[in-house]
Structure 1
Amino acid sequence: MEPRAFAVLCLLVEHRHRVVSKKELLDAVWKGETVTDAALATTLRTVRLAIGDTGRDQRFIRTVHRRGYQFVAPTAAAQSAAGTAGAVGEGEAPAWSRDVTRFCRTADGTRIAWAVTGAGAPLVRTANWLSQMDLERTVPAFAHWFEGLTRGRRLIRYDERGYGLSDRTTGFALEEWMEDLDAVVDAAGLGRFPLLGISQGGALGVAYAALRPERVSRLVLNAAYARGQLARARDAAERDAAHLDLKLTLAGWHAQNHSYQRFFGAQFFAGSAPHRWDEYMSFQQRSVSAAGGARFLEEQSRLDVSDLAGRVRCPTLIVHSRDDPRVPVSQARELAELIPDSRLVLLEGSNHLLTGDEPAWPRFLDEMYAFLAEDGPDPG
């Protein structure tokens, strides 16, 4: 946990006999800084995830409406080796709720943040737009991915250069993203492993499997494409639409225009309530600068791995929502035609990024785990 989250937990445990008000938490932990209630709510979600609690279960931290928060789990005083007393909560957080975050360096010296969650055979997830490892667990739209991807698996994920906890460099190109992935799997000590690519991370997964065939045992692609929006534009009208999409997104980002921001967020969660769009946009703005986001979006729109797709030799599973508004289902069909040993599964739904409360989510997990099990245990 980050220091502030740990300080919040310690304060709640220390005063577990009573409700601790929001003001008291803000005064004690943020020490006079001007912060919003949203900052406290985000920190509390971080604490709950770290100790295996949720806002629904509240087995450890109870929200008392209009009053504050109270630590309610059973505790016992324990003597440390130095003879000092401390509070120890009962129960242990599940493996998927615990991360070990590390840092490695690429061949060109860029520092990349990566994390390991869970235990078992490895599953590497390529980075995609966007990630920030210390924030992802606090966003309800992403929380289910951790439990879902670590069922008997050791999930390895990372922040690409330019955003998140990795170096905020200016490099945004496929070759540099390949270097980031190289550095992470080398640091994790992996030989051959299954690779999961989501959205833009799918294009990276295709390129990596084609150019590093000795490393990728199986490839899983979700909401992926071979060609970005500009690269696949067939005429002037489609090119104009791609440029307009980029301009509207950047205008909303720079001007903090709520309607423009919702336009972009709705493309990722078309089948979800508007609050999910706002939540996603807030996460993006915290993960990367507006200038970095602009560079990344433009490079992403020009990506084209269609030539490399035909060189992928490992078994490949392609899963896509039929009504995905961000990446049309035609892109999934194109990938299935280009990759020789591939199978295509279409899901009912209109979310670009799958949510935990839609029927497509358990179907995706079932298809993925059945596919990964066909080779038996991965050597890692």
Structure 2
Amino acid sequence: MHLEPQVFSLLLHLIRNRDRVVAKTELMDEVWGDRYVSDSALTSRIKTLRRAVGDDGNQQRIIATVHGVGYRFVAEVVEVGHEPVVGRAQHIRYCVSLDGVHVAYAVSGSGPPLVKAANWLTHLDLEWSSPIWAHWLDGLSRHRTLVRYDERGCGLSDWEVSDFSFDAWVNDLELVVNAAGLDRFPLLGVSQGGAVAIAYAVRHPERVSHLVLAGAYARGRLARARTEEEREEAELDLKLGRIGWRHDDPTFRQVFACQFLPDGTRELWDAFNDLQRATTSTENVVRFLDVFAHIDVSALAPHVRCPTLILHSRGDLRVPKAQAQELAALIPDSELRLLHSRNHVLTADEPAWQLFLSEVDRFLGDG
């Protein structure tokens, strides 16, 4: 059941703090951040939440109202799955774009900042326990304050948006950075997030101290297609996305899993498929893939002025290493480091992952 991001955030916060009554002011701070909202806005979201979980204001079997104080989750809860990682915590907040889109961002770790531009189908909450991304969050938050976000159209950000463009994604990164109160910071771009990071770094050279590009590219598949065969392969991406999500057929999504994680286990592929399915709608998948295919920052890349590190898997099936070499040729004085892996998203148990982290630490220093 699809819930508005604010309603879902309310549910999560109430469940996580089910051992106590959660004050109205705390819920407002958690969901709306620094934005002023009235009590009626919170009451409306609670009413929507109760309806979604089969409760109402009379029965209050799941969410109880403590008059004059707040709300408490009172249904029985049984925890399953992995043990929580001690010391790991994140804070999710929202900011609002000029066109009214609610963009969710998360802050974790401590130390000097590191901002990660959004990439393919993120979900701030589900990634926290995902075998695909959990080690990324732990590794990048070890010595730094990691700021990341769900781009418009997926995850905990608004799904129903009118402006689904590359420029809108760059604007959303700008929005999140401002909301987080950051002045100058290193910026990480993974996959198509690399192009967003490049565009932001050129737009705001005074704010980006270092740029790290992982599995990134300057031109999307259709933008760089030169032959009819290459154009057919690029169009196939769109068709697979449209069919796979429309019919909820995992066999089509499996193609993406195999491209992103060719050396992954079946368990990792299933986890990747589950995460893809939970992060956005069928319509948005096709819109994402279409924009990705037409990305072209090749004219912007030569104007990057900050130190840049390019990390890329040698055998990457999703984004061939030639794209990393093109970036290295375009961005002045950039460093290129090829990693011994075939995975587009590095897994926790492969040696390339530890090398990735050590290269990032070396490049960024102590902040």
Above 0.5 in TM-score?
yes
Alpha-carbon displacement from aligned partner over 1:105-128 (angstroms, at most 9, x marks no partner): 123232111110011100000001
Q: Provide structure 2 residue ranges, at least 5 long, that are not aligned to the other structure.
A: 1-8, 20-52, 56-76
- The counterpart of 2:359, out of the listed 354, 362, 367, is 367
Report 1:140-151 matches (<5 A): 140-151=131-142
Cα distance in 2 for partners of 1:2, 1:362 equals 36
Deviation at 1:6, TM superposition (A): 6.5
Q: Is the 2:241–2:252 contact (alpha carbons within 8 Å) kept by the matching residues of 1? A: yes
User: Which SS does the other structure have where 2:309 is aligned?
Assistant: strand
Q: Is the 2:150–2:156 contact (alpha carbons within 8 Å) kept by the matching residues of 1? A: yes
Report 1:44-123 matches (<5 A): 44-45=80-81, 48-49=83-84, 52=85, 93-94=86-87, 97-123=88-114
Alpha-carbon displacement from aligned partner over 1:171-227 (angstroms, at most 9, x marks no partner): 221210111111111111111110000001011111111111111110000000001
Q: Which residue of 2 aligns with 1:78?
A: none
The CA RMSD measured in Å over matched residues stands at 2.3
Cα distance in 1 for partners of 2:276, 2:78 equals 15
Cα distance in 1 for partners of 2:89, 2:342 equals 31
Paired positions, count: 305
Q: Is the 2:303–2:331 contact (alpha carbons within 8 Å) kept by the matching residues of 1? A: yes
Alignment identity in percent? 48
User: Which SS does the other structure have where 1:141 is aligned?
Assistant: coil
Cα distance in 1 for partners of 2:360, 2:102 equals 31
Q: Is the 2:103–2:157 contact (alpha carbons within 8 Å) kept by the matching residues of 1? A: yes
User: Which SS does the other structure have where 2:95 is aligned?
Assistant: strand
Query: Letter of the aligned partner of 2:235 in structure 1?
Result: H
Cα distance in 2 for partners of 1:253, 1:109 equals 27
1:212 lines up with 2:248 in the alignment: no
When normalised by structure 2's length, the TM-score is: 0.78
Q: Which residue of 2 aligns with 1:67?
A: none
Q: Is the 2:92–2:107 contact (alpha carbons within 8 Å) kept by the matching residues of 1? A: yes
Task: Mark the CA change 1:258 to 1:178 in structure 2 (over 3 Å): closer, same or farther.
Answer: closer
Deviation at 1:44, TM superposition (A): 3.2
Cα distance in 1 for partners of 2:163, 2:277 equals 19
1:152 lines up with 2:188 in the alignment: no
- The counterpart of 1:270, out of the listed 262, 274, 277, is 262
Cα distance in 2 for partners of 1:190, 1:253 equals 37
Deviation at 1:246, TM superposition (A): 2.0
Deviation at 1:256, TM superposition (A): 2.4
User: Which SS does the other structure have where 1:101 is aligned?
Assistant: strand
Deviation at 1:4, TM superposition (A): 6.3
User: Which SS does the other structure have where 1:137 is aligned?
Assistant: helix
- The counterpart of 2:118, out of the listed 115, 123, 127, is 127
Cα distance in 1 for partners of 2:12, 2:320 equals 42
Q: Which residue of 1 aligns with 2:287?
A: 295
Alpha-carbon displacement from aligned partner over 1:39-93 (angstroms, at most 9, x marks no partner): xx996348x43xx3xxxxxxxxxxxxxxxxxxxxxxxxxxxxxxxxxxxxxxxx3
Report 1:220-369 matches (<5 A): 220-369=212-361
Deviation at 1:236, TM superposition (A): 0.9
Deviation at 1:10, TM superposition (A): 6.1
Q: Is the 1:323–1:350 contact (alpha carbons within 8 Å) kept by the matching residues of 2? A: yes
User: Which SS does the other structure have where 2:188 is aligned?
Assistant: strand
Q: Is the 1:104–1:184 contact (alpha carbons within 8 Å) kept by the matching residues of 2? A: yes
Cα distance in 2 for partners of 1:286, 1:238 equals 30
Q: Which residue of 2 aligns with 1:163?
A: 154
Cα distance in 2 for partners of 1:171, 1:10 equals 38
Task: Mark the CA change 1:8 to 1:161 in structure 2 (over 3 Å): closer, same or farther.
Answer: closer
User: Which SS does the other structure have where 2:121 is aligned?
Assistant: coil
Alpha-carbon displacement from aligned partner over 1:129-159 (angstroms, at most 9, x marks no partner): 1111111112111110111001210000011
Cα distance in 2 for partners of 1:106, 1:8 equals 28
Cα distance in 2 for partners of 1:252, 1:109 equals 30
